[in-house]
Amino acid sequence: MNTYSRILKLLPPYKFQFALAFVCMVGFALSNGAMAYLIGPVMKFLFSNEAAANGITIIPFDLYTVPKEKMLVGIPLAILVVAVVKGLSSYGQSFFMGYVGQGVVRDIRKKLYEHILSLPVSYFTTNPTGVLISRLTNDVNLLQTTTSEAIATILKQSLTIVVLAGVVISLDWKLALAASIALPLSVYPMRKLGKRMKKASTSTQVTMGTMTALLHEAIAGVRIVKAFCMEGYESARFQLENEKYTRNQLRTIKIRSLSSPLMETLGAVGFAVTIWFAAYRISQGTLKPETFISFFASVIMFYQPIKSLNGVNLNIQQGLAAATRIFEVLDKAAEVEKKDGAFAVLGIDDSVEFRKVSFKYGGNWVLKDIDLKVKKGEVLAIVGSSGAGKTTFVNLIPRFYDATDGSILFDGKDIRDLTLNSLRLQIAIVSQQVILFNDTVKRNIAYGDPEMSEEEITKAAHAANAHDFISRLPNGYDTVIGEGGVRLSGGERQRLSIARAIFKNAPILILDEATSSLDTESEHEVQKAIANLMEGKTTFVIAHRLSTVRNADRIIVLANGGIREMGRHDELMSHNGEYSRLYSMQFNG
């Protein structure tokens, strides 16, 4: 009920369209009742000699009579009018509820996407990309069934049931009581089948998320898949999940297939009791045949919406299962809660300081009691063995992770007291894993800047030694580079990411293994670009190739979660410590 109430809270922006849909539903229900009401008098008019001779009552309560001549025109006209009203009402409610459903789905998809982007980096380390894509697409589409089709069906059929119930009761309350004998019997199977449908639907959606994740991994890493001849392995992994998905879908089909005949059987019980009782009443002279005809038509119409409600209950359970998965993501805490009194930072005037900083990942301490002060414009190199915490160290600066203990200060101000946007605007990052977008070169360089000054873009490209290769592209700066920059070489992609960092012109620069995957010629070009990028910046450099950090103002060596050594290259080499050992391993084998 909590999930369903949260879905209903999405409707207020569309209350006008919802109101129009409700009016159409009322029209549909009334026209349905009117059609049932007309059937008895029509049958008597057509087959009763007495009616042909003397006229007929169009309403079984003898409220007023209509002459035979007018009946010849009135009855067909009444049927036509009722049919037109019913058709227009059905169209209106379908359109307006469809409008509401599409609007709600658009809003929740937008909200979900924005919330996913606001989640902390740690969330994405435990939730595969494909699973999140599945929630944005498959789960949201299933939710549409609940917000538009299901709600519309519930309201329309419920109103129809109320109107038809009024008709059958007004015609003969005793027959109505006999006809409703099967209704209590249908409650338990509806609930039982609904629960089974929700469980099966949840399993189906989970499996769809896993399938999407496998697709994303295999397609993104298709070169590695082919290089290792693992097409068969990846196909087998996908087929395993595909079989699970098919089994879950068959479970939902089985439930739906069982639902319809079960409700029809229960309906037949009500029909059998009604017919037996009606036959007895007619034989006793206490029930008019035309009244029974109208009653019988109304009861037939009455069971149809009940059957529809049972079917929509199964759709609702699917939608609720999808909504539960969507709300699970929306309920995850965003990256940084808004802090009262947080203020914007406009630059760095003095230093970036780590004060007793510790960080725990899971149950393990990655960093412990780090004390370090980096002056404005200083180049700090961070080295250490694999797993020493180098990347974690720099990830704390833009608050991709928050320190477990201690604090990081910009000019003496705790970064947790700063607004997150203003903090990250002070930081540019170039990493080994280059992230480029399937867009033009200039949009990748000027990423995040809607103004996109052509002059500044070209200037940044020149500084990154990227202008020459960009000029050789088919459309120059307007060339679309493909997903992840797939149409560029590794060195070109890296220089483009450096151009992006230069364009941002942030006072703090983080270089995370920026040249480790490049060949010698590409590295030479990238190093020249990096030298231009670092000019005047407070720079944090992580490098496995220790030759690239020899000219750093300071080098720190991380080991066992702490700073083992600190100093310039020559100083550390003379100590014959950890840095000297790492350097010798690289250059002396």
pLDDT, one tens digit per residue, over 416-429 is 888 888 888 888 88
pLDDT band at 134 (very low <50, low <70, confident <90, very high): confident
What distances in angstroms separate CA 434 from CA 423, 497, 511, one per listed residue? Answer: 22, 7, 11
Q: Which among 10, 26, 14, 9 is positioned nearest to 93, based on CA atoms?
A: 26
DSSP bridge pairs for 559: 562
- The string of pLDDT tens digits covering residues 502-534 is 888 889 989 887 665 555 666 666 677 777 778
Please list the helix, strand and coil fractions of the chain in percent, rounded to the nearest 5, in that order. Answer: 65, 10, 20
- The string of pLDDT tens digits covering residues 294-314 is 666 666 666 677 667 666 777
Return the DSSP state at 333. Answer: P
Spatial distance between the Cα atoms of 505 and 503, rounded to a whole number of angstroms = 5
Q: What is the mean pLDDT of residues 316-345?
A: 78
Q: Which residue has the tokens 């200037």?
A: 459
Overall size of the chain counted in residues: 589
Could you tell me whether strands 427-431 and 508-512 are parallel, antiparallel, or unpaired per DSSP bridges? parallel
Q: Which two tokens stand for residue 342?
A: 């947080």
pLDDT band at 52 (very low <50, low <70, confident <90, very high): very low
Q: Which two tokens stand for residue 487?
A: 């149409």
Q: Which residue has the tokens 């003397």?
A: 54
Amino acid in the structure at residue 562: G
The H or E element that residue 254 is part of is helix 231-284
Q: What are phi and psi of 474, to 5 degrees?
A: -50, -45
b/e sequence 462-479, b meaning 16+ C-beta within 10 Å: bbbbbbebbeebeeebeb
Return the DSSP state at 446. Answer: T
Percent of the chain exceeding pLDDT 70 equals 76
CB atoms within 10 A of CB 303: 22
Q: Which two tokens stand for residue 371?
A: 């004390």
User: Is the pTM above the cut of 0.95?
Assistant: no
Full set of structural domains in the chain with CATH:
2-330 (1.20.1560.10)
Q: Which residue has the tokens 């007619």?
A: 282
pLDDT band at 46 (very low <50, low <70, confident <90, very high): low
